[in-house]
């Protein structure tokens, strides 16, 4: 029996290692490719580890365009969207969670409908709308359309609904205004959900390729994913090692944020009880 038990343990461990490998494969591949020569990238059978670690690939990727501009644009766009989404999403979620008013369900339904519209479907009318406002080729074209998030409203509403009514009533008895209740009571109680939503939003807009591609065509307002795609085109044939070094630059900042915030993520989904 102890033998069987031990074998089962090993099987479990092997199974989990397989699962882990499946999860990390694209990341590991991207990381290793970033430091290979082009010859090593395209050779068959594939070679996992680089013969010599070519750290200069990262420098080459960075130097092949105005990457500092792309980087700061990405930071500015992703952070501005995040702040605007919090400022518009928190009051909306609070109203949907705690107030009874005429048309509440209808308006909430409307925002959920928006949750399910892929950007590819609406980009053409939005593009025309923004060009009428003369915002194409500005960072506003990347920020404004995402300044409210239906997913954020939905997630925060779920979290706010879980706060017991007695706590809110107690705050009202203490003369707290609705804004104070919302910002000083509800928001701190929903912290894991806020962190998780913030992370999701930041990652999505940091990695977004489609929207900046269709809304900008000048280097001054381009973001990192577009810069990396241009890298692919400017190298003639596809220089995967340089492209992946560019992608490494793209992924590293969010990996760092992810390390700092990842403990909050599961708590958020347990807390908000999305259902």
Q: Which of residues 179-238 bind other proteins (CB under 8 A)?
A: 182, 200, 203, 207, 209-210, 225, 228-229
- 30-89 residues near other proteins, rule: CB under 8 A: 30, 44-46, 87-89
Are the CB atoms for 230 and 70 separated by under 8 Å?
Answer: no
Q: In angstroms, give the least distance from the CB of 171 to other proteins.
A: 16
Query: 54 or 268, CB closer to other proteins?
Result: 268
Q: In angstroms, give the least distance from the CB of 126 to other proteins.
A: 5
Other C-beta atoms closer than 10 Å to the C-beta of 122 total: 13
The 3-state DSSP class for residue 157 equals helix
Q: In angstroms, give the least distance from the CB of 110 to other proteins.
A: 6
- Which one, of 106, 122, 62, 78, lies nearest residue 249 by Cα? 62
Which of 7, 8, 51, 273 touches other proteins (CB under 8 A)?
Answer: 273
- Which one, of 90, 107, 110, lies nearest residue 193 by Cα? 90
Which of 82, 215, 226, 251 touches other proteins (CB under 8 A)?
Answer: 251
Q: Determine phi and psi for 188, rounding to 5 degrees.
A: -60, -35
C-alpha dihedral, 61 to 62 to 64 to 69, nearest 10°:
140
The whole-angstrom separation of Cα 229 and Cα 244 is 10
The whole-angstrom separation of Cα 73 and Cα 218 is 12
Query: 234 or 262, CB closer to other proteins?
Result: 262
> Judged by CB under 8 A, which stretch of 66-74, 100-108, 134-142, 163-171 contacts other proteins?
100-108
Which of 54, 78, 153, 168 touches other proteins (CB under 8 A)?
Answer: 153
Tell me if 94 contacts other proteins by CB under 8 A: yes
Which of 38, 107, 213, 230 touches other proteins (CB under 8 A)?
Answer: 107
Q: In angstroms, give the least distance from the CB of 25 to other proteins.
A: 6
80: enclosing H helix or E strand: helix 67-98
């Amino acid at each position: 029996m102890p033998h069987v038990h031990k074998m089962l343990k090993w099987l479990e461990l092997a199974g989990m290692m397989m699962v882990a490998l499946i999860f990390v494969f694209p990341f590991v591949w991207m990381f290793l490719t970033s430091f290979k020569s082009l010859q090593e990238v395209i050779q068959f059978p594939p070679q996992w580890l680089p013969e010599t670690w070519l750290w200069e690939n990262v420098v080459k990727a960075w130097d092949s365009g105005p990457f500092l501009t792309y980087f700061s644009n990405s930071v500015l766009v992703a952070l501005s969207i995040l702040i605007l989404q919090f400022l518009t999403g928190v009051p909306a979620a609070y109203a949907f969670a705690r107030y009874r008013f005429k048309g509440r369900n209808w308006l909430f339904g409307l925002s959920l409908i928006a949750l399910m519209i892929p950007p590819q479907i609406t980009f053409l009318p939005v593009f025309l709308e923004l060009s009428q406002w003369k915002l194409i080729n500005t960072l506003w074209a990347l920020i404004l359309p995402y300044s409210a998030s239906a997913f954020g409203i939905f997630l925060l509403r779920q979290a706010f609904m879980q706060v017991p009514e007695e706590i809110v009533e107690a705050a009202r008895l203490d003369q707290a205004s609705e804004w104070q209740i919302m910002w000083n009571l509800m928001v701190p109680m929903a912290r894991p959900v806020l962190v998780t939503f913030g992370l999701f939003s930041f990652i999505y807009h940091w990695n977004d390729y489609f929207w900046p591609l269709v809304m900008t065509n000048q280097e001054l307002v381009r973001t990192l994913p577009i810069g990396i795609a241009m890298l692919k085109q400017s190298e003639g044939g596809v220089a995967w090692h340089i492209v992946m070094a560019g992608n490494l630059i793209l992924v590293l900042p969010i990996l760092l944020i992810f390390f700092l915030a990842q403990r909050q993520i599961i708590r958020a989904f347990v807390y908000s009880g999305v259902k």
